[in-house]
A and B are shown apart, each in its own frame.
Chain A
Amino acid sequence: MIIPKEIKQKPLEYLLLALVFLVGLVIYFFIPISSHGQRLVVYFMAASYFLWSIIHHYRRGDLNLSIVVEYLVMALVGIILLSVSLF
């Protein structure tokens, strides 16, 4: 299996992100929660993903405004596409 170079360089950071996603998935699909609770899970995941990106790029030494905006927009894409239509 080919593991991308960026994962090889910071395996723990990617593991942490995968763990956050896994927790979100388990809560969303396997724990009986209301649609309000599901919305909170999505917000939590988007916020964690954004926070992770800041820490990840800061530690890599390439944190700048364009990268922050990129993650912010990706989080926005996810939240809007899901929440506007479904909640």
Chain B
Amino acid sequence: MKSKLSYYFIPQEKNNYRAQILKTGFLLFLVGFYLINQEIIKFVGVVKPGVLGYSSEITAQKVLTQTNLQRQNNGLPALKYSSVLSKSATDKANDMFAHNYWAHTSPTGTTPWDFFKEAGYQYTVAGENLARDFYDTESLMEGWMNSPTHKANIVNSKYQEIGIGVVNGTLGGIKTTLVVQHFGLPVTSIASQQETPKQLQPETVSLQNSRILSEEKSNYINPLTINKTVGAIIFVLVIGVLFIDGYFTLKGGINRLTGSNISHIGFLLIIFLFMLYQRQGAIF
């Protein structure tokens, strides 16, 4: 057992003076194992929908507040809440869950503008931002603001109104929260049914959503946590063996024709840091 372990971790004659874990074949095996893990997660999502999921504390009210805060920081007037736009945004989110897609245009060709029309919103300029899998509103807003195209919608001086849809459901077998922002400049001011944020119906709706989600929180597993855990194990294993291999090579004065362990460790440590820092959530 001990000699088998040392074969994988310590450079010696049996492994041609290179820890077996660091050999190309073993590294490719680890990559393959990781990719299979990905496929298993996807498979579980399809076979047992709802087992995996992302919890969220996002509400429409918080998204509205954060959006207007960003506009204020950019010297723009706050957007007025529109219940009509919120209906179109919520319909869009529900449509993505119902038809299992994640895009501005549905597989059947329905565009965001179709939802605006169906809700009865007549506009001269309009826009849509999408987000999924985020835990909190701050991270969601950071994601949008870091993307030039999404930021362009949030700080667009032409828009006067906004509607927000925050809907929980199962997408691709994974429970998640979809956030849809619909922006618009109405054709006439009468056409828009403006309300102040404090009078919002969606505040109640979103609070209900949050409650449902927190009740379900313990019932499903976050796929990102699984990915990060498996990824971290592989990183720690490879980086650790690089250290061990380097130590024994130095100690034993071994001369061999391989790459530099120091550069490998540096590169992998930085990528590992990126992985640890990465937060959940995707925008479109």
Q: Which residues of A are at the interface with B, using a C-beta cutoff of 8 A?
A: 4-7, 14, 17-18, 21, 24-25, 28-29, 32-38, 42, 45-46, 49, 52-53, 56-57, 62, 64, 66-67, 69-71, 73-82, 84-86
Interface size class of B (residues with CB under 8 A): 35 or more
Task: Report B134 CB to chain A, min CB distance, Å.
Answer: 12
CB-nearest residue of chain A to B265: A74
Q: Which residues of B are at the interface with A, using a C-beta cutoff of 8 A?
A: 24, 27-28, 30-31, 34-35, 38, 142-143, 145-148, 224, 227-228, 231, 234-235, 238, 246, 250, 257-260, 262-264, 266-268, 270-271, 273-275, 277-278, 282-283
State A76–B35 Cα separation when bound (angstroms).
12
State A62–B231 Cα separation when bound (angstroms).
32
State A17–B283 Cα separation when bound (angstroms).
33
State A69–B274 Cα separation when bound (angstroms).
24
State A31–B92 Cα separation when bound (angstroms).
32
Known interface pairs A14-B262, A85-B227; A32-B34 also in contact (CB < 8 Å): no
Known interface pairs A74-B268, A81-B235, A84-B35; A67-B257 also in contact (CB < 8 Å): yes
A35, B282: Cβ atoms closer than 8 Å: yes
For the residues of A in contact with B, the DSSP-based class is: helix
For the residues of B in contact with A, the DSSP-based class is: helix
Out of A70, A76, A77, A85, name the residue touching B259 (CB < 8 Å): A70
Q: With a 10 A CB-CB cut-off, give which of A34, A56, A57 has the most chain B CB atoms.
A: A34
State A38–B279 Cα separation when bound (angstroms).
12
Nearest 6 A-B pairs (CB), nearest first? A85-B227, A78-B271, A34-B147, A70-B259, A32-B146, A86-B278
- By a CB distance below 8 angstroms, the chain A residues around B271 are 42, 45, 78-79, 81-82
Out of A17, A24, A32, A69, name the residue touching B263 (CB < 8 Å): A17
6 more CB-based (< 8 A) A-B contacts, given A5-B250, A14-B263 = A4-B262, A53-B259, A70-B24, A77-B31, A77-B234, A81-B235
A77, B275: Cβ atoms closer than 8 Å: no
B257, A52: Cβ atoms closer than 8 Å: no
A77, B238: Cβ atoms closer than 8 Å: yes
